[in-house]
Structure 1
């Protein structure tokens, strides 16, 4: 625990905005909650609905059961697909079994899925910028036939590419990547393959970009940045990297209790943010813990306003 003197030491706390839930996460959680309301418990969810232990545990209390594969879902119960998206084979299999399913895939991920189909239909091979084994990458690869897409994670991967037809290429990216790293990889792709076709807009989602911009801003003056998020949350891990790159120390925590008192010794300015799947209640928890031990001078640093809302699937609005 953090021990303080009788007289609390003052520290500045810069809280990033935007932070926490994005519209896609908000929608995915609502879909599970409304499915439980509509069908009654239990409702099965294939893969963690979003990468956050607290959120998953709260939904379990309501009656959600989380499984990794469709085979684990019994007949006759509804199943929800996570916000990260699933390979095409998964809904097909659900239909074959006569399962009611709800797709909570983030609409911005679905947009990438549609682009993948369009590019392969046009006869192009897709270079996909992303992280191996991330559920979003697995889901996107599962939209097209085997062999129609190649994953690149680094600049070295780009240098090693040897496509059959360098003139028939397209690229897409995972939605939760580091904006700066991805620009470097895309630049390298465009330099090597001048005719490569890119998406009309940016694939990296607005929420990922916004949270990274806000972290850059607070990291300029903070000695330590606390990022609330899960160790398997791509967008949260990128926030840590962004803060470190600016020159701040950064730590990924899941809850307030993960804060090591040693991190705070001699620190006078702390930054605080949360990944796109971390609820605001966890931000409050960290603020409360710090306030118990320090005299907090809190300031919100807002870089942009977010007002994106995604529609719910048909049939759930009434629930």
Structure 2
């Protein structure tokens, strides 16, 4: 029985970003330097396949510093941590390595700088997301106000509308964030924003590729984890950009084939924490069922690379 033809549009850029690549490398280099176990506070990146692979090599994932022994190294995840966490580790004289993405660290520095200048902070982000928790935790509790939607802006209570600044989570929807920023500027004309937008290059680039790809596609799959903010945003962006059906999958086994019945064009992308091997697995699943023609939709070329911390580059 002959296979039905399918045009498969593959977004570029997709998958791993420089911050994720660096964070994974940090865990692997720590295991090489100090041996197993190495403790990691929170999932190093939001991807089960990656986390399980590192666990098999000897990484132990925990949610709090209290779960870590004093005599083993601990790594802080790419999402960043509140300032109290490294302070507690230092007090216990632990060896710790900070794998916070440098672009998230940039937001931390911005927040502290604005606070030092006497400005109250507003953060645009998702409540409970580890990056938001980490950024808000750079300042004393209650000093950072969180807004998640345009509607939230109308209800936020500030100390002084003339002394405000805002930062954002790095993995938000670019378009949604523009609307929230406009609402903040309308209500608080004196509010100070970042010198350069906080949403990271990788989030922006992956969303732009999806916008270019979505109108061509009957359906779209985003390879990523359900707790990955940037992956979930890609699903939303695909829907808003005109793709009739967008689905988030962790692996090829998660694909809902019934929902794809009758399609002739398919878009595939991946969140910044998803390795290329999982994307290839999904493409192969389509090759098994269809006569596939792959077309690349490239909107940017990425060549960003972040150095790992010096402690890992020095001999043991």
Common topology (TM > 0.5)? yes
The equivalent residue for 1:10 is: 5
Pairwise mapping of residues 105-144 of structure 1 onto structure 2 (< 5 A)? 105-144=100-139
Secondary structure at 2:185 match in 1: helix
Pairwise mapping of residues 238-249 of structure 1 onto structure 2 (< 5 A)? 238-248=233-243, 249=245
TM-score by length of 1: 0.97
- Paired residue for 1:289, among 268, 285, 290? 285
Secondary structure at 1:189 match in 2: helix
Residues 38 and 212 from structure 1, CA distance in 2 versus in 1: closer, same or farther, beyond 3 angstroms?
same
The equivalent residue for 2:268 is: 272
Secondary structure at 2:310 match in 1: coil
The equivalent residue for 2:17 is: 22
User: Which shows bigger deviation, 309-318 or 150-159?
Assistant: 309-318
Aligned equivalents of 2:92, 2:157: Cα separation in 1: 41
- How many residues are paired up? 314
- Paired residue for 2:76, among 69, 74, 81? 81
Q: Deviations over 1:59-98 (max 9, x none)?
A: 0111100000000001200000000000011001111111
The equivalent residue for 1:182 is: 177
The equivalent residue for 1:172 is: 167
- Paired residue for 2:250, among 241, 251, 254? 254
Pairwise mapping of residues 85-104 of structure 1 onto structure 2 (< 5 A)? 85-104=80-99
Aligned equivalents of 1:112, 1:257: Cα separation in 2: 37
The equivalent residue for 1:147 is: 142
Aligned equivalents of 1:291, 1:54: Cα separation in 2: 22
Aligned equivalents of 1:318, 1:291: Cα separation in 2: 46
User: How large is the RMSD of aligned CA atoms in angstroms?
Assistant: 0.8
User: Which shows bigger deviation, 153-162 or 207-216?
Assistant: 153-162
CA displacement at 1:318 relative to structure 2: 4.8
The equivalent residue for 1:3 is: none
Aligned equivalents of 2:241, 2:38: Cα separation in 1: 43
Aligned equivalents of 1:172, 1:260: Cα separation in 2: 37
Aligned equivalents of 2:162, 2:314: Cα separation in 1: 49
Aligned equivalents of 1:126, 1:315: Cα separation in 2: 33
The equivalent residue for 1:310 is: 306
Aligned equivalents of 2:100, 2:120: Cα separation in 1: 24
CA displacement at 1:162 relative to structure 2: 2.6
TM-score by length of 2: 0.98
Aligned equivalents of 2:80, 2:276: Cα separation in 1: 24
Secondary structure at 1:315 match in 2: helix
Aligned equivalents of 1:278, 1:317: Cα separation in 2: 26
Aligned equivalents of 1:299, 1:263: Cα separation in 2: 22
Residues 76 and 107 from structure 1, CA distance in 2 versus in 1: closer, same or farther, beyond 3 angstroms?
same
Unmatched segments (≥5 aa) in structure 1: 1-5
